[in-house]
């Protein structure tokens, strides 16, 4: 996976410096590389977030399939297509039933209900037969560091559920 570090922001929250990408699969020395020049982003009005947040994004490779994202917090609360909000914070934004996704679960502010258990459910198999995709966890620490973690999955049977571990 990759971790992203911002070069900084000015008093108005506009990005300055460079966005650095760190490949977490290699040794730390020399693993940082310039990824984007932040002043170019500032010219189009991009702002560096000043608060922590987590976004869990489900996407899959086939149309006509219905794959669902499920998120459970440490208290046992369960967010999914029929009950989209967790009392501890966080909400599933949309239930995509026609293929590809994305389905997104968003926790604005600090993630206080963790660890969160993530899974995908093959609600309805389409003509292609496979539910092949990725759940991506995007976490911002509120101070400029962004981490991205990919969790691939494969579903083949209607109503099968794949546990993707905790975050």
Q: Is 41 helix (H, G, I), strand (E, B) or coil?
A: helix
- Count the helix, strand and coil residues of the chain and give each as a percent rounded to the nearest 5: 5, 50, 45
Quick one: which of 91, 80, 83 has its CA closest to 121?
Answer: 80
Q: In this structure, are residues 55 and 104 in contact, taking their beta carbons and an 8 Å threshold?
A: yes
> pLDDT-derived band of residue 32, with 50, 70 and 90 as boundaries?
very low
Rounded Cα distance between 25 and 150, Å, is 12
Contacts of 65 (CB under 8 A, 6+ apart): 99, 122, 124, 125, 126, 128, 130, 131
Cut 0.85: pTM above it: no
State the Rg of the chain over Cα: 18
Question: 72 pairs with which residues across the strands?
Answer: 78, 117
Q: In this structure, are residues 115 and 130 in contact, taking their beta carbons and an 8 Å threshold?
A: no
> pLDDT-derived band of residue 40, with 50, 70 and 90 as boundaries?
low
Per-residue pLDDT tens digits for 55-73: 999 999 988 899 999 999 9
Rounded Cα distance between 107 and 85, Å, is 10
């Amino acid at each position: 996976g990759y971790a992203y570090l911002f070069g900084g922001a000015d008093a108005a929250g506009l990005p300055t410096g460079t966005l650095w990408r760190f490949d977490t699969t290699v040794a730390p020395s020399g693993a940082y590389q310039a990824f984007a020049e932040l002043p170019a982003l500032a010219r189009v009005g991009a702002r560096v977030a000043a608060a922590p947040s987590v976004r869990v994004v489900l996407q899959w490779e086939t149309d006509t399939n219905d794959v669902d994202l499920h998120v459970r917090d440490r208290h046992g609360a369960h967010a999914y297509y029929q009950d989209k909000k967790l009392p501890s914070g966080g909400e599933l934004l949309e239930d995509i039933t026609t293929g590809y996704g994305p389905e997104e679960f968003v926790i604005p502010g600090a993630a206080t209900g963790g660890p969160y258990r993530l899974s995908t459910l093959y609600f309805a198999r389409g003509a292609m037969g496979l539910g092949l995709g990725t759940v991506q966890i995007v976490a911002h620490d509120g101070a400029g560091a962004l981490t991205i973690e990919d969790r691939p999955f494969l579903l083949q049977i209607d109503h099968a559920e794949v546990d993707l571990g905790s975050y």
